Amino acid sequence: MSLRKFLPVASLFGLATAQSDSYINQTACNGKTYTYQALGGYGYIPGTARDKFGDTIGGIGSAIAMDRKNWEKLDNGSYTGVLWALPDRGWNTEGTLNFQARVHKFDIIFTPASNATVKNPSGNNLWFVYNDTVLFYGPDGTPTTGLDADGSGHLSYAGFPDLPVATYTGDGFGGSGTGGRRVSIDSEGLVLDGAGGWWVSDEYGPYIYHFNSTGTMVAAIRPPDAFIPMRNGSESFSADSPYYYPDQGSGDDVSPADNPTGRDNNHGFEGLSISSDGKALYTLLQAANNQEGGLKSQTERYTRFLSYDISDPGNPLYLSEYVVPLPLWTDPTASASKNPKTAAQSEIHALPNGQFLILARDSGSGNGQDSTESIYRQIDIFDISNATDIKGTKYDCASCAIASSKGALGSGIKTATYCGWLDINDNEELERFGAHNGGDTDRGLLNEKWESIAVVPVDGKEGADGEWVSSSFLGKGQREIC
């Protein structure tokens, strides 16, 4: 199956027409060509929208997944489908909350607006209809929580690895209650399992969880020990993200605040995807482990990519591990000694041709931030076909490293091939839909965090014409652009 043209659709990318030979950008990566035709449109969900449990829907773009069975092209050229969207750990700009992890279901309608121009921009042409929400529960049926994991300790269940736990008093929201202990999840990646359930990757562990159709956890994948955060010689799943109640998010929950080895605080398994045959699961750490340069943005470039055989979902098998070199960008507000910085990744998507889309971006720029202009916010491509499989005792132990603490890659490791491609920040395309990167803080300014990718065929069926619609949603805020 050829992957010739991408016509973005669901949050900030373009969709021209399948007949158009024009394009914005074209990239070749290890012999495979990718064409970005145009930004296709945008849509949004009001920030005041609530789910059926009364909670605001919030930033639903930590991950998205399109149900391909329901994707359809209508006779009038519009598209309809079902989209599942994963929110983050709840409102946590000032501290973590006792927010139960969940996944939202939306019906969507997308009508391409290929004739939109800067002088005659289109209105929103992607519509969302809220359908349902499924809450996630631990193996024993106890609700999960977004509260920061405890600095030490865990929950144990038969057939599961030790799971991160948060211990809270009252109701976890500053009110009265009996308190409790719950599995702590900061959900970031989402995959449909084909049987009505979901695979969800998280940042605390960092782990991958499998939930059935009712939202109960039925399996968990613990990565190699090199990923597990350690403090004072013991496992410590805390991300140093204090509770809002009673601390208002202040202070340090643990010591040291930065774990010297394992995933960095709030830098877990951002990327999660599945093979086209549904037999392999892929995950990518947001940036380097701390022992490999992960404590500084200038040195966290070399991150790890894992694959698992999920032919038997109840017994996932660790298959392989590769190193992905994240892109670098120059921060104009920082000194030369603080540049270049790593564009950490927020999502991956496995393609039928064996390569992967990856969403890499800067941080701290956009709506609600001091700086309104993002420098690097792209969907790129990487290829592992010629990379070194580093799976094994040499690199997977708790103290093992693929790079020095200053980010120098170890000898003998060949990284994945990384190819730049689709620039989300392209104002010539954004302004065709009333959006923009940089400039005034208004309704059209892009938010800071874009954290998801979905790909569906332009022909509404199997993508036999080689043209696909790619979509991305912002992870925080209230606006989605297609």
- Mean of pLDDT values over 26-46: 90
Amino acid sitting at position 152: S
User: In angstroms, rounded to a whole number, what is the distance separating the alpha carbons of residues 56 and 39?
Assistant: 29
State the residue range of the domain holding 286. 5-481
Q: Which among 176, 42, 57 is positioned nearest to 108, based on CA atoms?
A: 42
Supply the mean pLDDT for the chain: 91
Amino acid sitting at position 294: G
pLDDT of 153-164, one tens digit each?
Answer: 999 999 999 999
Res 246: pLDDT? 85
Q: Decide: 271 and 347 in contact? Cβ < 8 Å.
A: yes
Res 60: pLDDT? 79
- Mean of pLDDT values over 136-142: 99
> β-strand 467-471 against 454-457: which pairing, if any?
antiparallel
Confidence grade of residue 456 (pLDDT, cut at 50, 70, 90): confident
Rg (CA), the chain: 21
User: In angstroms, rounded to a whole number, what is the distance separating the alpha carbons of residues 211 and 63?
Assistant: 15
- Mean of pLDDT values over 298-318: 98
Cβ count near 83 (within 10 Å): 25
Res 443: pLDDT? 85
pLDDT of 245-255, one tens digit each?
Answer: 987 778 888 99
Token pair in block for residue 325: 């070199």
Instruction: Enumerate residues 6+ apart whose C-beta is below 8 A from 336.
Output: none
Token pair in block for residue 204: 């605390």
Res 18: pLDDT? 37
Total number of domains constituting the chain: 1
239 HSE (CA, 13 A, CB side): 27
Between 481 and 198, the higher pLDDT residue:
198
pTM attached to this predicted model: 0.94
Instruction: Enumerate residues 6+ apart whose C-beta is below 8 A from 283.
Output: 189, 201, 208, 223, 269, 271, 272, 273, 305, 306, 308, 348
Identify the bridge partners of residue 303 per DSSP, sorted by sequence position: 324
User: In angstroms, rounded to a whole number, what is the distance separating the alpha carbons of residues 222 and 234?
Assistant: 16
Res 400: pLDDT? 98
Measured in residues, the chain has a length of: 482
pLDDT of 324-334, one tens digit each?
Answer: 999 999 999 99
Q: What percent of the chain clears pLDDT 70, i.e. is strictly above it?
A: 91
- Mean of pLDDT values over 1-17: 40
| Dihedral over Cα of 132, 138, 141, 144: its sign | negative
| Confidence check: pLDDT of 284 > 90 | yes
Confidence grade of residue 474 (pLDDT, cut at 50, 70, 90): very low
For 236, the 3-state DSSP assignment is: coil
Cβ count near 49 (within 10 Å): 15
Token pair in block for residue 478: 């209230």
Confidence grade of residue 43 (pLDDT, cut at 50, 70, 90): confident
